Structure 1
Amino acid sequence: MNPLSVLRDSLYFFRRNILAIVRLCLPLVVLEAFCKGLLDHAAGPEHSPVYDIVLGLLFYPLYTAALILFMDVRSNGVQPLTRNLLAAAMRLWPMFALLTGTSTVLIILGMSMFVLPGLWIMVKLAFSEYLLVLRNLTPLEAIRESFAMTRGHFWRILTCVLAVLAPLWLLNGVSDQLYPDPRNPLLGLAIDSVNSFLQLFTSVVLYRLFMLLSDAKGDGPR
């Protein structure tokens, strides 16, 4: 389970299915960025991060659950309908939002105790979303099972995640330098939408890792 092979396979899948992923996720990503822009305008750029977390809980579970379901179906050679994936994501939203909120609080608490505990928690929670969506576990069960599945694979998972996020963080920093606030609203919407959409590649990479570990244990998604 070489990280380079995982990244290569994930990039191949992302490129092969980019148009379907755009149709499925980009409208929600753009709507999330638009609402964030409205929030920044109404509450000011220095508003409490709690508002951003709540806003994320509205949209992130929808497009992420839809993407996970899409990857699962496409991996079996089936081309799913976008409306069916979104309908299924809507049904999963309450439990997924609860999981996302819990994970966010745990990671923030970890980051508050210096960076390393936050990174450790982030890695240990890496598979919780897939366990909730694909195995129908409750948020608490998904967190517990994710801690178990990631045991012994910390550095491999962290390497894959940082290999994706580090360039995206750099790209975000460059865009902030080139187009500092206050930005043109349309330009800000475009930049935020592109950055958020590209971060979905992290979900593709983690799904590939999840499937490899599930296959190695002989207990693929049920």
Structure 2
Amino acid sequence: MNPLDVLRDSLYFFQRNLGQIAQLCLPLVILEALLQQGVNSALGPDTFPGYSVVVGLLVYPLYTGALILFLDARTRGESPRTRDLLAMALTLWPRFALLTAVSTLLILLGLSLYFLPGLWLMVVLAFAEYLLVLKGMAPLAAISESFRLSRGHFLRILVCILAVMTPLWLLKGASEAAYSEPLNPLLSLAIDSAYSFLQLFTSVVLFRLFMLISEQPDKR
């Protein structure tokens, strides 16, 4: 399970299904960016960052849940309709939002403790969303099982996450440096939406890893 093979296979899938992924997720990604922009405009750019997290909890579980369901369906050769995927994602929203809230708080707490604990939590929680959506687990059970599944695969997961996120972090930093504040609202919306959409590639990579690791014999 070479990380380069995982990244290559995931990129191939993402490119082949880009149109369907965009149709499924991009409208909600843009809605999320619009809501974030509205919150910043109403409360000011220096407002409490928790408001941004709340906006994410409203929309992120919908498009991420729909994407995970789409990935699972495509691996089985199925082509579900967009509205069916979104309807299923909507039924998962309460549990997914709770999982996202708990995971976000844990990672932010870890990042505040000299960064490395946050990075460790980011890795060991990587499969929780897939376990909740695909296995029907409760949020805390999904977190516990993600810890177990990631055991013995930490470096592999970390390499895959960093290989995707590092270029995106650099791209975001470059865009912020290139365009001085205050940004044109439409330009800001385009940048934020593009950045969030490209982050969905991380979900594709982690789904591929999740499937490969889940297929291995249980060593407990």
Establish whether TM, by shorter chain, passes 0.5.
yes
In structure 2, stretches of 5+ residues that fail to align are none
Aligned residue for 1:100?
Answer: 100
How far apart are residue 180 of structure 1 and its match? Answer: 2.0
Alpha-carbon distance between aligned partners in 2 of 1:109 and 1:38, rounded to the nearest angstrom: 27
Alpha-carbon distance between aligned partners in 1 of 2:144 and 2:170, rounded to the nearest angstrom: 33
Q: Percent identity?
A: 63
Aligned residue for 1:6?
Answer: 6
Alpha-carbon distance between aligned partners in 1 of 2:14 and 2:4, rounded to the nearest angstrom: 15
Aligned residue for 2:168?
Answer: 168
Cα deviation 1:169-212 (Å, max 9, x = unaligned) = 00001110111210100010000000000000000000000000
Confirm or deny that 1:130 pairs with 2:122.
no
State the AA in 2 paired with 1:118: G
Range with greater deviation from structure 2 (34-43 or 96-105): 34-43
Confirm or deny that 1:152 pairs with 2:152.
yes
Q: How does 1:16-95 map to 2 (within 5 A)?
A: 16-95=16-95
Alpha-carbon distance between aligned partners in 2 of 1:189 and 1:104, rounded to the nearest angstrom: 23
State the AA in 1 paired with 2:134: L
Aligned residue for 1:209?
Answer: 209
Aligned residue for 1:192?
Answer: 192
Alpha-carbon distance between aligned partners in 2 of 1:209 and 1:147, rounded to the nearest angstrom: 14
Alpha-carbon distance between aligned partners in 2 of 1:187 and 1:108, rounded to the nearest angstrom: 28
Aligned residue for 2:180?
Answer: 180
State the AA in 1 paired with 2:90: M
Aligned length: 218
Alpha-carbon distance between aligned partners in 2 of 1:193 and 1:144, rounded to the nearest angstrom: 32
State the AA in 1 paired with 2:83: R
Alpha-carbon distance between aligned partners in 1 of 2:69 and 2:113, rounded to the nearest angstrom: 34
How far apart are residue 216 of structure 1 and its match? Answer: 1.6
State the AA in 2 paired with 1:211: M
State the AA in 2 paired with 1:208: R
In structure 1, stretches of 5+ residues that fail to align are none
Alpha-carbon distance between aligned partners in 1 of 2:122 and 2:83, rounded to the nearest angstrom: 31
How far apart are residue 143 of structure 1 and its match? Answer: 0.3
Alpha-carbon distance between aligned partners in 1 of 2:100 and 2:153, rounded to the nearest angstrom: 22
